[in-house]
A = this chain, B = another copy of it.
Amino acid sequence: MTALQPIPYFSAILDFAAGKDTPRAFLERCLARLEQIEPAVGAFVCRDRIGARIAADGASQRWRLGRPLSPIDGMPVGIKDIIETADMPTEQGSPLFVGWRSGRDAASVAALREAGAVFLGKTVTTEFAATEPRGTRNPWDTERTPGGSSSGSAAAVACGMVPTALGTQVVGSILRPASFCGCVGFKPSVGGINRGGSYDYLSQSCTGVLSASLEDAWLVAVNIAARAGGDPGHPGLQGPPDPPSAQRPRALAVLQTAGWDVASPEARRAFEAAAGQLAKAGIAITDRHADPAIEEVEGAISDAIGLTRAINAWEGRWPLNTYRNRDRSKLSQSALERLATAEAMTQADYGDAIARRQRSREIHGRLAGCYDAAITLAAPGAAPLGLGSTGNPVFNVPASLLGIPAISLPLLSAEGLPLGLQIMGFASEDARLFALAAAIRDLLAGRQRRSENLVPGSC
Query: Which A positions have Cβ atoms within 8 angstroms of B?
Result: 86, 103-107, 110-111, 114, 194, 196-197, 201-204, 225-226, 228-229, 232-233, 235-236, 238, 314-315, 317-319, 321-323, 325-326, 346-347, 350-351, 354
Contact = CB atoms under 8 A, between A and B. Distances in A.
Nearest to A195: B201
A196 B205 CA distance: 15
Query: Copies of this chain, how many?
Result: 2
Contact of A104 (B86, B106, B326): B326
A203 B232 contact: yes
A204 to B, nearest CB: 8
B354 A315 contact: no
Nearest to A318: B107
Given A229-B347, A347-B226, A322 B86 contact: yes
A196 B317 CA distance: 11
4 smallest CB-CB distances across A and B, nearest first, come from A203-B233, A107-B318, A203-B232, A235-B351
Given A319-B104, A321-B110, A326 B86 contact: yes
A238 B347 contact: yes
A171 to B, nearest CB: 14
A204 B322 CA distance: 26
A108 to B, nearest CB: 9
Nearest to A111: B318
A179 to B, nearest CB: 27
A235 B355 CA distance: 9
Contacts of A323: 104
Given A196-B318, A202-B232, 7 more contacts: A105-B325, A110-B319, A196-B319, A203-B233, A229-B347, A235-B350, A235-B351
B326 A232 contact: no
Nearest to A202: B232
Given A110-B322, A196-B318, A347 B201 contact: no
A100 B354 CA distance: 36
A319 B350 CA distance: 30
Contacts of A203: 232-233
Nearest to A403: B233
A190 to B, nearest CB: 9
Contacts of A347: 225-226, 229, 235-236, 238
B314 A229 contact: yes
A351 B232 CA distance: 11
Residue of A204, A235, A236 with most chain B CB atoms under a 10 A cut-off: A235
Given A201-B196, A228-B317, A233 B326 contact: no
A238 to B, nearest CB: 7
Contacts of A204: 233
B197 A319 contact: yes
Contacts of A228: 317-318
Contacts of A351: 235-236, 238
A192 to B, nearest CB: 11
A326 B85 CA distance: 12
Given A201-B196, A235-B350, A235-B354, A322 B229 contact: no
A399 to B, nearest CB: 17
A128 to B, nearest CB: 12
Nearest to A108: B318
A107 B238 CA distance: 32
A117 to B, nearest CB: 14
A129 to B, nearest CB: 14
A419 B325 CA distance: 42
Nearest to A319: B104
A169 to B, nearest CB: 15
B103 A350 contact: no
A194 B233 CA distance: 16
A323 B86 CA distance: 10
A57 to B, nearest CB: 19
A194 to B, nearest CB: 7
Contacts of A235: 347, 350-351, 354
